[in-house]
């Protein structure tokens, strides 16, 4: 045993023994019964499902006992300097001692699973570690200690993973938020944070969360998806990719619009790959998720106020400072408040090629949302002046959507062409045309051009991107 990771205080060892909960003993009858009564009272054979439930309950109880013993025996201060191999060996050794002491016999598979879960409890996020390591999982959604959902390929599914109880779940939440200098309790019942791997974390605890703590984790994708990857996945076509490359390279101001989980950040990441490597880019986000491939990138992250209500750094503060840092382009991860004023002004005053995302269901809704954000910021401007500001600042709206079958598509690319009276004029260049559903409820559809030539075609040609007229022809005309 690696004594440098184990407490040497004898009192600690005694407390460990006293902390261990005695395993449940098998229930036996206190006195024999007549054979006829035994036959009549003989229970039906337990189903495989019941046996599995009981096995998991027993394993959960054993894990709780071992975890308490580990907390009493491990020298937690020394864990920071321990290698993974040494720590795993120490945990396995302590677990073997306790199992032998309590006369608990486990199969080799159960013992390996138990040791792995104990390691996750000590160093990681307990039951969530398995899901965080699963590359097929996009989102982890916890509704109380006994209900954990995940999203795979756009569809939600219930897992068989659970926490022991609410206290166990709260301990994991506290472990996450304390690592980034934040807290969550009754007086401050909700929190945003970022995990070590960059995943976005949000939690809400009782009494605001009625049936147990609510946790949502948007996993950080380590693999950078480029335009070619999204074309291969069917998110859009090569013609649309060629158009978007010209739009980004010629420094059009672009807004990526879409609902929650529609792939806005992924689309923004992919579009950024068309930016020239010689340009200076500044990014502003609530939670750093953008993965830009360029050399000259300055990343900023906003910060909420501390316990005393001080120290807040808003996206607007970051944006104001970014304008003083000689950026060629500014990329705001999401615009949803008063920072919209500074974003539009930046787009209007020489920072062409800037990009951001907003929550909206269509390009027209996106423009309305920009108008509403300006109004909510307390800026008193005539509606026509607001729309004139938007029409001169924003050139392109890319609409991303998550369809009912879980697939994600770029459903529309729309240009803003100016003003017609008091109305912002727009023209759609590409759209996703839905045709029907398969028996498996998969959406049948195709991408098509609308037949409208780009308002910026001359700009593209002047910058060396002379797109063929064929990409603007609808499928029916080809």
Tokens of 273: 């790959």
Tell me, yes or no, whether 111 lies in a domain. Answer: yes
Verify that 268 and 300 share a domain, yes or no.
yes
Verify that 96 and 166 share a domain, yes or no.
no
Verify that 103 and 137 share a domain, yes or no.
no
d(CA 277, CA 250): 14
Verify that 336 and 472 share a domain, yes or no.
yes
pLDDT, residue 250, reads 94
Facing residues of 431 across strands?
412, 448
**Residues sharing a CB contact under 8 Å with residue 459, sequence separation 6 or more, in sequence order:** 250, 252
Verify that 368 and 423 share a domain, yes or no.
yes
**Residues sharing a CB contact under 8 Å with residue 395, sequence separation 6 or more, in sequence order:** 247, 252, 253, 254, 415, 416, 456
Tell me, yes or no, whether 37 lies in a domain. Answer: no
pLDDT, residue 142, reads 93
pLDDT, residue 455, reads 94
Q: Which of 95, 123, 151 is a domain's end point?
A: 123
Tell me, yes or no, whether 303 lies in a domain. Answer: yes
Burial of 68 (0-12, 13-18, 19+ CB in 10 A): middle
Verify that 299 and 339 share a domain, yes or no.
yes
Verify that 108 and 212 share a domain, yes or no.
no
Verify that 302 and 188 share a domain, yes or no.
no
Q: Which of 90, 123, 156 is a domain's end point?
A: 123
Tell me, yes or no, whether 31 lies in a domain. Answer: no
Task: Report how far apart the first and last C-alpha atoms of the chain are (Å, whole number).
Answer: 74
Tell me, yes or no, whether 38 lies in a domain. Answer: no
Structure pTM? Answer: 0.71
Q: Which of 220, 239, 255 is a domain's end point?
A: 220
- 309 near 188, Cβ under 8 Å? no
Instruction: Note the residue count of the chain.
Output: 478
Verify that 114 and 131 share a domain, yes or no.
no
Strand order of the β-sheet with 443-449 is 297-301, 281-285, 329-332, 355-359, 254-258, 396-402, 408-420, 423-437, 443-449
Count of the separate structural domains present in the chain: 3
CATH number reported for the structural domain that contains residue 155 in this entry = 3.30.450.370
Strand 423-437 relative to strand 408-420, pairing: antiparallel
CATH number reported for the structural domain that contains residue 345 in this entry = 3.40.50.300
Verify that 205 and 321 share a domain, yes or no.
no
Reported as half-sphere exposure (CB side, CA atoms, 13 A), residue 362 has a value of: 7
DSSP label of 342: H
Query: How far does Cα 303 stand from its chain's mean position?
Result: 18
Verify that 318 and 417 share a domain, yes or no.
yes
pLDDT, residue 462, reads 93
From first to last of its 478 residues, what are the pLDDT tens digits of the chain?
A: 444 555 544 444 444 333 333 344 444 444 555 544 444 445 555 566 666 666 666 666 676 666 666 655 555 555 556 666 776 777 777 777 777 777 777 777 777 777 777 776 666 777 888 888 888 888 999 999 899 999 987 788 999 888 888 888 888 888 888 777 777 888 888 888 878 777 888 899 988 988 899 999 988 776 667 788 888 888 889 999 999 999 999 999 999 999 888 888 888 888 988 998 889 999 998 877 788 888 899 999 888 777 677 888 888 888 889 888 989 999 998 888 888 888 888 888 778 899 999 999 999 999 999 999 988 888 788 889 999 999 999 999 999 998 888 888 899 999 999 999 899 999 999 999 988 888 888 888 899 999 999 999 999 999 999 888 888 888 754 4
Domain that holds residue 76: 1-25+47-123
d(CA 320, CA 335): 14
Verify that 250 and 385 share a domain, yes or no.
yes
């Amino acid at each position: 045993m690696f004594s440098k990771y184990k407490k040497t205080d004898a009192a600690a060892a005694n407390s460990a023994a006293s902390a261990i909960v005695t395993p449940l003993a098998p229930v036996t009858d206190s006195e024999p019964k007549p054979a006829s009564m035994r036959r009549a009272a003989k229970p039906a054979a337990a189903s495989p499902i019941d046996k599995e439930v009981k096995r998991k309950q027993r394993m959960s109880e054993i894990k709780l006992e071992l975890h308490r013993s580990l907390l009493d025996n491990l020298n937690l201060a020394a864990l920071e300097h321990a290698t993974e191999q040494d720590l795993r060996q120490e945990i396995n050794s302590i677990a073997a001692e306790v199992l032998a002491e309590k006369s608990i016999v486990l199969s080799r598979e159960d013992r390996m699973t138990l040791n792995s879960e104990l390691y996750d409890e000590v160093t990681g996020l307990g039951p969530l570690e398995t899901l965080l390591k699963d590359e097929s999982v996009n989102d982890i959604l916890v509704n109380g200690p006994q209900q954990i959902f995940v999203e795979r390929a756009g569809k939600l599914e219930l897992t068989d993973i659970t926490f022991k109880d609410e206290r166990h779940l709260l301990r994991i939440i506290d472990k996450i938020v304390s690592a980034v200098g934040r807290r969550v309790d009754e007086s401050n019942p909700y929190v945003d944070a970022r995990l070590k791997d960059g995943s976005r974390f949000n939690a809400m605890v009782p009494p605001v969360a009625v049936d147990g703590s609510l946790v949502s984790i948007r996993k950080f994708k380590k693999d950078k998806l480029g335009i070619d990857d999204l074309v291969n996945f069917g998110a859009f076509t090569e013609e649309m990719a060629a158009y978007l490359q010209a739009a980004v390279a010629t420094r059009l101001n672009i807004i990526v619009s879409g609902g929650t989980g529609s792939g806005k950040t992924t689309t923004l990441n992919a579009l950024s790959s068309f930016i020239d490597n010689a340009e200076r880019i500044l990014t502003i986000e609530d939670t750093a998720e953008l993965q830009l491939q360029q050399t000259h990138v300055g990343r900023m992250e906003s910060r909420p106020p501390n316990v005393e209500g001080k120290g807040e750094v808003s996206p607007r503060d970051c944006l104001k400072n970014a304008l003083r840092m000689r950026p060629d382009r500014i990329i705001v991860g999401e615009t949803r408040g008063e920072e919209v004023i500074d974003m539009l002004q930046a787009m209007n005053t020489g920072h062409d090629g800037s990009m951001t995302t907003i929550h909206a269901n269509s390009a027209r809704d996106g423009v309305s949302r920009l108008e509403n954000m300006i109004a909510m910021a307390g800026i008193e401007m005539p509606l026509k002046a607001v729309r004139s500001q938007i029409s001169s600042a924003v050139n392109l709206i890319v609409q991303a959507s998550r369809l009912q079958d879980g697939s994600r598509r770029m459903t529309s690319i729309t240009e803003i062409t100016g003003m017609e009276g008091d109305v912002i004029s727009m023209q759609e260049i590409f759209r996703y045309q839905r045709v029907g559903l398969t028996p498996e409820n998969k959406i049948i559809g195709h991408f098509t051009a609308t037949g409208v030539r780009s308002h910026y075609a001359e700009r593209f040609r002047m910058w060396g991107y002379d797109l063929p007229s064929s990409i603007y022809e609808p499928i029916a005309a080809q």
